Amino acid sequence: MAKNIPLQERIIFALDVDSQQEAERWVDRLGDHVHFYKVGLQLFMAGWFHVIDMIVERGHKVMVDLKFFDIPETVALAVKELNKHKAAFITVHGNDPILQAAISERNSAQILAVTVLTSFDESDMREMGFTGTVEDLVYMRAKKALDLGCDGVISSGLEVPRLRDGLGDKFLIVTPGIRPGTNDVVKDDDQKRIATANQAIKNGADYVVVGRPIRNAKDPVAVVKSMQDEISRAL
């Protein structure tokens, strides 16, 4: 099922900066090229709801990536607060009651369940006591989240094919860990399960989250245009 997602929304730019002023500069700099932004822990702590309001007031969408993991009542109240500020996507990282609590207050927001962080690989799984593969855990968590009523999941581009094959196309997949090329090295990179924008979309992702490859580029707009071209070819 083809989803009617504008090209300018396919890239969710990660505003991993330390002030609302810096976030505003990036929103202005990317202009009409990007219409979807991610606000994570760093920026949210620096700008609180004001930064979300700023992005929305400029006509863009916001993915609030705080990965809620708390007692269900607290998560429900947190989602309720975010709905006052018109968040488009809200990420949650928890068990069934936590996900259900977020869903109960989603209103117009879409709840995305975090499966396995893209900074984890098989060795991390062993250290945490998991005996299966990353792909198995991603699939299991995604299936459970969708059965509960989540709107989509966060998954690396590597697991997307199995998710689409096994769970269908009537849900959203948002893919972080996007790099210009799988062999490219981003300085101080902590991402382990990576893919290009083309690979992620071709595999079945709906959106890609991109931060450092754009933020660290000499010409960020050129990188955005290049990735959008990759996405267009994959669609």
Catalytic positions, written as ranges: 67
Q: How many domains does the chain contain in total?
A: 1
**What does the pLDDT look like over 83-93, one tens digit per residue?**
999 999 999 99
Asked if residue 146 belongs to a domain, the reply is yes
Asked if residue 44 belongs to a domain, the reply is yes
Instruction: Indicate which CATH number applies to the domain containing 215.
Output: 3.20.20.70
Asked if residue 73 belongs to a domain, the reply is yes
Q: Comparing C-alpha atoms, which of 80, 69, 149 is closest to residue 109?
A: 80
Domain span at residue 89 reads 7-234
Asked if residue 115 belongs to a domain, the reply is yes
**CA 99, CA 117: separation in Å to the nearest integer?**
17
pLDDT value for 190: 46
pLDDT value for 182: 42
**What does the pLDDT look like over 135-193, one tens digit per residue?**
888 899 999 999 999 999 999 888 999 999 999 999 999 999 898 764 444 444 445 56
**CA 235, CA 227: separation in Å to the nearest integer?**
12
What rounded mean pLDDT belongs to the chain?
A: 89
Asked if residue 130 belongs to a domain, the reply is yes
Asked if residue 2 belongs to a domain, the reply is no
Asked if residue 167 belongs to a domain, the reply is yes
Asked if residue 1 belongs to a domain, the reply is no
